[in-house]
Amino acid sequence: MPEDSPEDSPMDVAACLAAIDRSDAEIKAWAVLDRKAASNSSGALAGMAVGVKDIIDVAGMACCYGSPIFAGRIAEADAELVTALRMAGAAILGKTVTTEFAFMQKSITRNPHNLGHSPGGSSSGSAAAVAAGQVELAIGTQTGGSVIRPASYCGVHALKPTRGAISRAGVLQTSQTLDQVGIFARNLNYLARLGSVVTNQPDLEDALNHLPAAPPRLLYLDGLYGARVQGYVHEGLQKIATALPSHIDILPAPAAEIARYLETHKTIYDFEICQNIGPLMSSHESQMSAEILAAIKRGQKVAISDYEKALIERDEAALYFGGLLAGYDGLLTASATGEAPVFEEGTGDSVCNCLWSLTGYPCISLPISGRFQISGPKGLGVGVQLTATTGRDSALLGLARWLETRLG
């Protein structure tokens, strides 16, 4: 993939609205649209429009969490990250469609590359809006795989930074332990620019202009997630790993530890979604999907002792993977188990992302093209995911630029 041009001219609000008018009747990426949105003339994001996932408050706009229970809810104040966007000059163009409570029920949004397929979830509208060229920047959230997986299915760039790097004040809470905010963009330059604003880490942009001083070293875990990942994805990653033998070490995936910590993630998620969304069941059960009700009921069966044990295991997982990645700049994996599923089959498997939601590690999805592109039988691409340890967000951006350049 060629390096992004620093001189790329961003679309203005009028161009974004025109693009939405051309395509959103079919794609359905937007829950709320502000046709009077305006940006400031100064700031890092001056003149740029941003879509914000509809579980994040924007003052004066509806924020319904993808649920009929909250139809007509109007946010009274901006979420902290929205305040940061405004201060940087961005125009808040509207709210992008989310799945119900940012969970597993499919949304109305379609994949712009093939309308018969899902854009993924739960940040469905954010990924699809960027992929469709309706907007160049969007905000999403991830508790399992809700940023990186939709980015993979839709062929866009996305970053889930270190847990806590982006404020969650004013964002729907489904899991106090696992919820994280992430971002989408048309290219790495815009991704770093947006990331610098919402994380208050100006060095994210600088990282793109300073490739690693020493030759990068990546780890690739052969057979990671086993049969849950499509064979062509394993083959595509193996092709990349073997093409860069001086930079990528190949080791067998630690299956037992992977399985253990995936279960840890599930235990925490089920318990906490039951805590946070479960109280709605008493008066609104008929308005809740089978998917969210099943998760709440699973959470009701999790003993406090098992939940507390899982929280300890979460800390253990961060230490374990920190040891595994010691001496490496990052981990090379797939962003998703395969290409986007057929729309009627739901939003896809998040197994490729759950461990990094559990540990809070930063990760990035890159839509690789050319001879190293990983594509499924329907011709839809699969993103490449890079993961680094806690706090190495800036280094991860530089590593992403390096890998795109190498594979271009």
Contacts of 225 (CB under 8 A, 6+ apart): 253, 258, 337, 351, 352
Facing residues of 109 across strands? none
Class of domain 9-408: alpha beta
Amino acid 8: pLDDT: 65
Which residues are catalytic, by number? 53, 122, 146
Under the banding of pLDDT at 50, 70 and 90, the label for residue 9 is confident
Q: Are strands 49-53 and 91-96 parallel, antiparallel or unpaired?
A: parallel
Amino acid 6: pLDDT: 45
Under the banding of pLDDT at 50, 70 and 90, the label for residue 1 is very low
What is the per-residue pLDDT across 154-171, written as a single tens digit (0 to 9) for each? 999 999 999 999 999 999
Contacts of 320 (CB under 8 A, 6+ apart): 257, 261
Lowest mean pLDDT among 31-40, 173-182, 257-266: 31-40
Whether the Cβ atoms of residue 119 and residue 126 lie closer than 8 Å to each other: no
Q: How far is CA 361 from CA 260, 280, 318, 358, 383, in A?
A: 18, 31, 8, 8, 18
What is the per-residue pLDDT across 296-322, written as a single tens digit (0 to 9) for each? 999 999 999 999 999 999 999 999 999
This prediction has a pTM of 0.97
Amino acid 5: pLDDT: 45
What is the per-residue pLDDT across 229-249, written as a single tens digit (0 to 9) for each? 999 999 999 999 999 999 999
Please state, for a pLDDT cut of 90, what percent of the chain lies above it. 93
Q: Please, what is the average pLDDT of the chain?
A: 96
Structural tokens at position 244: 């860069």
CB burial readout 204-229, b (16+ within 10 A) else e: bbebbeeeeeeebebbbbeebbeeeb
Q: Is residue 19 packed enough to be buried (19+ CB in 10 Å), middle (13-18) or exposed (0-12)? A: middle
Please tell me whether residue 179 adopts helix, strand or coil conformation: coil
What's the rounded Cα separation, in Å, for the pair 408 and 397? Answer: 16
Helix pair 304-324, 255-277: axis angle to 10 deg: 140
What's the rounded Cα separation, in Å, for the pair 189 and 209? Answer: 10
What's the rounded Cα separation, in Å, for the pair 121 and 142? Answer: 9
- DSSP line for 146-161: TTHHHHHHHT-EEEE-
Amino acid 2: pLDDT: 36
What's the rounded Cα separation, in Å, for the pair 97 and 127? Answer: 10
Under the banding of pLDDT at 50, 70 and 90, the label for residue 7 is very low
Length of the chain: 408
What is the per-residue pLDDT across 334-369, written as a single tens digit (0 to 9) for each? 999 999 999 999 999 999 999 999 999 999 999 999
Given a cut of 90, whether residue 211 has pLDDT beyond it is no
Q: Where are the domains of the chain?
A: 9-408
